[in-house]
Amino acid sequence: MSERSCEYADIFRNVARSRTSAPSTSSPAGSKAKDAPPSDAANANSSSHPEDPPVNMLHIRLIHHFMTEIRALFSDTVGTSMLLPGVMDACLSSPYVMNEALALSALHMSITRPAERDFYRHHAAQLQTHALTMLNSMDLQLNQETCVPLFLFSGVLNMHILCDALTFRDNDDFEQFLDHLARGFRLCHGIRAITGSSWVMLRESALKPIILDGEAQFESRSKLSHPESAKLLESIEKAKLGPSLTATYRKAIEALQAAVHIHSHENVGDSISKITAWPVLMPPEYIDLLMPRRPEALVVLTHYAVSLHFRRDIWVFGDGGRFLIESINQYLGPGWAEWLEWPMRVLNETGR
């Protein structure tokens, strides 16, 4: 395992550890009672024989909500692939995937049911903790069988992390919000570091249509095809920050191209796919620049926030894009007005 991968493993452990201090009321969706087979009929009726646990109605409600409401958030190709027998079997045999699916479902219900917001948000955090703890404890060997559930897990986790950071802003504290978002980016990128070597296997899996669609979509947007992106990179190059910083910002901006080309009337699943891809595709060095609030890194983030704002109709993002742009504009001050001209113009032209 590489040094960077070890770093991400530490992140998974820290996330899980920070949440397990409180008693868990949401048991892992994939836990099984280990019943020993009876040796004779008497043993079958013995009081020592463990009984099946009662059905967890909360989890039933959450999985139903996921299949009827959440699955529609994914692109048509992904949503259809989830129902394929091979894909369903892989997910059902991977409890960490099922826990994260239920976690995202609970997060959505915390937004759509304001009266029960705290209840569902608590369970969303608990279920995600179970998922990350399970994944961290596994001696995961990437192969044709394990790469499919891990890939789907990464997509659901990315959506959960972004929504949690963008929607649940404690007192709209920008510094705290940015730390939360950057930690989320690291976690998303950590999953990418694990799954990156499985790309060839995924091309030959039941997810082949998804992989091919994604490759075609992002390859067509790999260069600086958006004029505002080209303008931003030009400003960074003129700032003479040095080859290392400039290269990091270039990679971050190039990875952003699919997201900045979204439009408000395109398929919801396609928009979400493009927007949630950036935290995975960005170079990890960019996150290192975002944490100490490097001004140029914050400006790049406002260009990403434009995409969030364009799809503010999607519950995953809400008004997070506007909050990011306005907060960064206030944080950097008038001296950066020229750099922030496009994101601020978008806000003024589109309203709320």
Query: Count of CB atoms within 10 A of residue 215's CB?
Result: 12
319 in Cβ contact with 305 (< 8 Å)? no
Per DSSP, the chain holds a count of helices (H) and strands (E) of 19, 0
Query: In the structure, what pLDDT confidence band is assigned to residue 85 with cuts at 50, 70 and 90?
Result: low
> pLDDT tens across 221-274, in order?
556 678 899 999 999 999 999 999 999 999 999 999 888 877 666 777 778 888
SS3 assignment, position 344:
helix
> What is the Cα–Cα distance from 89 to 91, expressed in whole angstroms?
5
C-alpha distances in Å from residue 233, one per residue of 130, 243, 244, 339: 41, 13, 14, 10
Q: What average pLDDT does the structure give for the chain?
A: 81
Sign of the Cα pseudo-torsion (138, 141, 145, 147, in order): positive
Torsion from C-alpha of 138, 142, 148, 150, nearest 10 degrees? 40
pTM: 0.81
> What is the Cα–Cα distance from 147 to 302, expressed in whole angstroms?
33
